[in-house]
Amino acid sequence: MAQAQPQPDQLGNGTRSFINGAEHIFFDRYWVRYYEPLEESLAARKHLIDNLTRRTFHHTEPGINTPGRRLDEARQAYEAQQDASMKRVNAAMLAGALFNRATDIFTAIVELEEKGVKISRDNELMRACGRYFKEALELGKDVKHHSGEEGIDELWGEPFRAFTIPITTYYESRFIKVAQTMCNIDLLASTIKKTFKDRPEFENLSVLVDTYADAAKHECETMKSDESIFDIWPRFISTGEHLGKFKPQIQADCSRECQYAIEHAMQTLISGRNLINWVARARVPMPASTKAYISSCEAIKDRLAHC
């Protein structure tokens, strides 16, 4: 279980230990599955950036994965757009084109190196690659999560960080981010349980919430290349489905208004399940969505208290 140990205050960040046969690293009260960083090379950095770019587009809104060859068109459309809501989307499309242009250039650099041509950090191609990544990062505030809930700048900025810092430093930053993600998952699970704990209709819900939160934390720490994913991913999906199928036990004296409140409560529960899913899969916290969800839980708890 990659979670806080009994006496975390006695452990320093970066402590490594084997837990249940797998190596973990400790950050901010959480044990996170440890993976050995790739060796420092342009080819390894390209592999890392390619994976991060694909993951970024997978978790962000559709329609923004603009090919790098269409960068000029995307920029012209963004600059010409007058409608504020449409301009945000044009900005996201431009950011996508910038990311892809940067990876196109980096691919060419790696191919040159493989042919024996050494490219220094001061080379114009490398500087152009950095500029494109940086501009894409600056536009990241206009890119939303695929749910439409909020922007996830932490995820959008990962390819740029992987380009600019040593690979070992990048891995450490990811371990820290996963620990923060686990904390976000625990906060959401705790909020759900507190919201429904006093209602007889939701008896036994806490066990399902804890089981799903635990599976979500394992999912967010596990690389897809890890052989354990064939156990962890099915458990994550299955426990989420079980939580989504929870049926409240309607009491005999439940009024119509109370029934409406219970229906609203179930919608709130499913929203929390979905948010845990999004946080775990993106592997970054979603603070704005979490804050909004906590407010919605407070509202439904108050409504249930009056029926």
- pLDDT tens for 234-275 read 999 999 999 999 999 988 887 888 889 899 999 999 999 999
* Residue-wise pLDDT tens digits, 54-82: 999 999 999 999 999 999 999 999 999 99
SS (H, E, C) 273-292: HHHHHHHHHHCCCCHHHHHH
Q: Where are the domains of the chain?
A: 42-164, 168-305
**Alpha-carbon 106 to chain mean position:** 25
Q: Distance (Å, rounded) from C-alpha 247 to C-alpha 52?
A: 39
- Separation CA 117–CA 119 (nearest Å): 6
pLDDT of amino acid 9: 63
94 versus 3: the higher-pLDDT residue is 94
Residue among 237, 231, 236 at smallest CA distance from 219: 236
Give residue-wise pLDDT tens across range 253-264: 878 888 898 999
Within the chain, strands assigned E span 16-19, 22-27, 30-33
> Does the pLDDT of residue 221 top 60, yes or no?
yes
Note the pLDDT of residue 272: 97
* Confidence tier at 1 by pLDDT (50, 70, 90): very low
Whether the CB-CB separation of 78 and 87 falls below 8 Å is answered with yes
Choice between 220 and 115, residue whose per-residue pLDDT is larger: 220
pLDDT at 4: 46
The rounded distance, in Å, linking the Cα atoms of 155 and 114 is 30
Q: Enumerate residues 6+ apart whose C-beta is below 8 A from 278.
A: 59, 145, 147, 149, 286, 289
Please check whether residue 285 is in contact with residue 183, taking contact to mean a CB–CB distance below 8 angstroms: yes
User: pLDDT tens digit string along 140-191?
Assistant: 889 999 888 787 877 888 998 999 999 999 999 999 999 999 999 999 999 9
